[in-house]
Structure 1
């Protein structure tokens, strides 16, 4: 392993703190958007997403504490590097969206979508960051059960979430992103 069990648990504590900050930022941005006439859709889905991310961190902690299986160090290092890339992509997305970034699906009517930053290349850079993180965060410590189980659940949740979000964003969004793929530039439109 690239890092010790204790160092990994400290990393998870940092991830938990990061998620709490993101929830605070999201709440602030939601209040501002709703004050400007925005509407929220998919409220029940939001609760599921929050529970998923909380359980993901708990599952990583449990598997890291009770399972100590051999895992190739180069794969652990690769997972750590990809996790770093995912974090950079997440914050590039957050900074690009500014006050429009949210963990909820909130739409301000008649507002064109943001098409700069990572959004000039793909439709959902923040969700790509989540996919990479859910797959790689556990693999830093060789937690293959958590990586596999939560990656499968994440695929289902994001499939529903992306359909909801794209529908809610409407025609402006469809026109602005008609030629862009969801996750990989030039692929999987």
Structure 2
């Protein structure tokens, strides 16, 4: 049985393990939705840059596993912020329902969803990711990785938002739900 001291030593690895499990579940959900959208005459846009996201996020997680130190102190405010972001992530994914994917898939005759956080901002999922990519390494006392991956992620997200905005602009004219 693990003692409190044991948990204090391994908590960073437990947290990273949970993030990996979350990401695997999200990728499976995304792939399911992608297949269904493609059956509905969906088109994938920006396919060429998608592997860069896989590489960036995979490297981000691997680097944290490799460099985090056991027994680092818990930054409770940062952990709380990270957990709040995960709740916002679930709300964001649920708001798009079957239209949520990690890829840019557009179904031309479907209006854009304006539910949940999408009523407030265009790209809530990207905002969440832009915050959590530097926040998680910072929470794990890895400030250099927080800066490096935060900057790389922002650059890649900037390009993706541009590509997605162009792809979705014709659908903005349709009646929104």
Q: TM-score, normalised to structure 1's length? A: 0.83
Give the equivalent residue in structure 2 for 1:10: 14
Structure 1 equivalent of residue 162 of structure 2: 163
Conserved in 1, the CA contact under 8 Å of 2:110 and 2:174?
no
- Quick check: 2:68–2:142 contact (8 Å CA) kept in 1? yes
Task: Give 2:44's aligned residue.
Answer: 40
Structure 1 residues 137 and 174, CA gap change in structure 2 (3 angstroms) = farther
Q: For 1:109, what is the secondary structure of its paired residue?
A: coil
| Unpaired segments ≥5 residues, structure 1 | 178-189
Q: CA RMSD in A?
A: 2.2
TM-superposition CA deviations, 1:24-60 (whole Å, max 9, x none) = 1111000000001000011121111111111111111
**How many residue pairs are counted as aligned between the two chains?**
170
Q: Distance in 2 between matches of 1:147 and 1:5?
A: 21
Unaligned runs of 5+ in 2: 1-6
**Alpha-carbon separation, structure 2, partners of 1:77 and 1:166:** 36
> What is the TM-score when the length of structure 2 is the normalising length?
0.88
2:17 maps to 1:29 = no
